[in-house]
């Protein structure tokens, strides 16, 4: 069934009503709806099988970002995250982008690298050519470890040989296995292949293999997103759209030239991406590592996104970055909510999931830059953070919403102020 990602009034609903709306939009069964609302979706016995030394489960809020349209398809985006304002900002930017066609995405094939480090070679350049001469034999050996992957059209497709002739540990030759991992994240696959061909590489070079491990700089596995928004769509009650566009460009340029700003700028992008990765049971640490390494590929850490102005004055944003995600294996298959997240997303391949993730990251970046270029980041963030402060101050039941509203209206979201308001409110009750 086609999903409608418009969530008008969703935020004002209670949790049961939100669940009902989501179930209707995504065709969830009663069991799946109950799983989302139960608070115990991950059985302790399953958790015990996922990692070691299990003593419990740690839960995160699980929300839905709405209004996303990606390549013409409406997408509801599950996000697991503890920070307020992230889902609201992503949804609002998706709503603004929707009027002009939403997000356009594309991606390269699901290609991962495995690295095999060879030491003790006195003729590293000669060793490189010797390895390349046996290229097909090495590829065939690697592919012998995963017949299912080969049947799916994946497998080791090529190899590269990199020479580091002068290191503090002597000459070093590093072989990269280039592997199409299909709908898997691919870590286990490429690591197994690397370990299996290590002995053959020692025979060929006369050296000794040390490390055999994937690289999280998945620069052959890129996902891309583009958005184009008319300037007038960005107009607020206080700022003209053209001024907002110029403010976004100024903020973006700051991130381009200054790594101190770029670190926070890119963290904002990952504010959107990481919750999608977590909700689908993927490895958010691998995504973060790849993102920051890719942001440094020029030799200087800089922005992952680009922001420009089209000839007609529209704001144009793009994001291209490594995105090593999977639909099979690991927690993606083990965790019940990860499987349910994939159903809600309606994605059919790892590449499609990667494209959704970068679209959300681009939306999140646009939201942050828009806020920074206008009223500042804290105004909207703290208004949404007010509920957390209200709860921390001791509010319960209907008091939470009342106190959060009072804090936001006063533009003073502090725990001591919240406690003072709550105390007065309770004393004033009949």
Pairing type for strands 111-119 and 208-214 reads: antiparallel
% helix, strand, coil for the chain, step of 5: 50, 20, 30
Q: If you search the block for the tokens 């590592």, which residue do you land on?
A: 289
Neighbours of 40 (CB within 10 A): 9
Backbone phi, psi, residue 162, to 5°: -110, 135
* Burial of 359 (C-beta count, 10 Å sphere; 0-12/13-18/19+): buried
Concatenating the DSSP letter of every residue in 120-164 gives S-S-HHHHHHHHHHTHHHHHHHHHTT-HHHHHTT-EEEEEEEEEE
Catalytic positions, please? 83, 267, 283, 381
Instruction: Determine contact, residues 90/367, Cβ cutoff 8 Å.
Output: yes
Instruction: Determine contact, residues 261/308, Cβ cutoff 8 Å.
Output: no
Whole-number Å distance between alpha carbons of 186 and 285: 14
Instruction: Determine contact, residues 332/282, Cβ cutoff 8 Å.
Output: yes
Whole-number Å distance between alpha carbons of 366 and 92: 10
Whole-number Å distance between alpha carbons of 340 and 354: 17
Whole-number Å distance between alpha carbons of 113 and 285: 17
DSSP 8-state code for residue 210: E
Neighbours of 260 (CB within 10 A): 10
Whole-number Å distance between alpha carbons of 297 and 275: 25
Element housing 375 (H / E)? none
């Amino acid at each position: 069934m086609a999903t409608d990602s418009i969530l008008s009034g969703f935020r004002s609903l209670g949790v049961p009503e939100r669940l009902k709306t989501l179930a209707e939009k995504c065709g969830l069964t009663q069991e799946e709806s109950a799983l989302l609302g139960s608070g115990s979706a991950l059985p302790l016995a399953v958790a015990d099988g996922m990692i070691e030394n299990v003593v419990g489960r740690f839960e995160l809020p699980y929300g839905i970002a709405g209004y996303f349209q990606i390549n013409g398809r409406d997408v509801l985006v599950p996000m697991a995250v503890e920070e307020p304002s992230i889902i609201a900002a992503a949804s609002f930017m998706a709503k603004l982008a929707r009027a002009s066609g939403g997000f356009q995405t594309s991606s390269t094939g699901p290609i991962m690298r495995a690295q095999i480090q060879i030491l003790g070679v006195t003729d590293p350049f000669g060793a490189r050519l010797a390895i390349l001469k046996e290229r097909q034999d090495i590829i065939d050996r690697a592919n012998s470890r995963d017949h299912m992957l080969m049947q799916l059209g994946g497998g080791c497709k090529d190899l590269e040989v990199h020479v580091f002739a002068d290191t503090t540990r002597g000459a070093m030759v590093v072989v990269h296995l280039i592997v199409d991992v299909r709908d898997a994240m691919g870590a286990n696959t490429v690591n197994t292949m690397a370990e299996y061909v290590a002995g053959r590489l020692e025979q060929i070079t006369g050296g000794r293999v040390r490390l055999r491990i994937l690289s999280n700089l998945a620069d052959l596995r890129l996902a891309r997103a583009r958005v184009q928004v008319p300037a007038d769509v960005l107009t607020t009650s206080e700022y003209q759209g053209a001024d907002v566009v110029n403010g976004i460009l100024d903020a973006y340029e700051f991130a381009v030239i200054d790594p101190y700003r770029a670190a926070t700028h890119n963290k904002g992008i990952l504010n959107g991406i990481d919750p999608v990765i977590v909700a689908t049971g993927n490895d958010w640490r691998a995504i973060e590592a790849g993102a920051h390494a890719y942001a440094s590929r020029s030799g200087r850490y800089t922005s992952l996104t680009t922001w420009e102005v089209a000839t007609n004055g529209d704001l144009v944003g793009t994001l291209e970055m490594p995105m090593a995600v999977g639909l099979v294996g690991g927690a993606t298959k083990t965790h019940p909510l990860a499987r349910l997240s994939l159903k809600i997303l309606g994605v059919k391949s790892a590449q499609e999931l990667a494209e959704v993730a970068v679209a959300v990251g681009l939306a999140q970046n646009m939201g942050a830059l828009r806020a920074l270029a206008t009223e500042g980041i804290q105004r909207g963030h703290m208004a949404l953070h007010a509920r957390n402060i209200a709860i921390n101050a001791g509010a319960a039941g209907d008091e939470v919403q009342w106190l959060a509203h009072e804090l936001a209206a006063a533009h003073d979201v502090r725990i001591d102020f919240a406690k003072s308001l709550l105390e007065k409110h309770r004393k004033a009750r009949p």
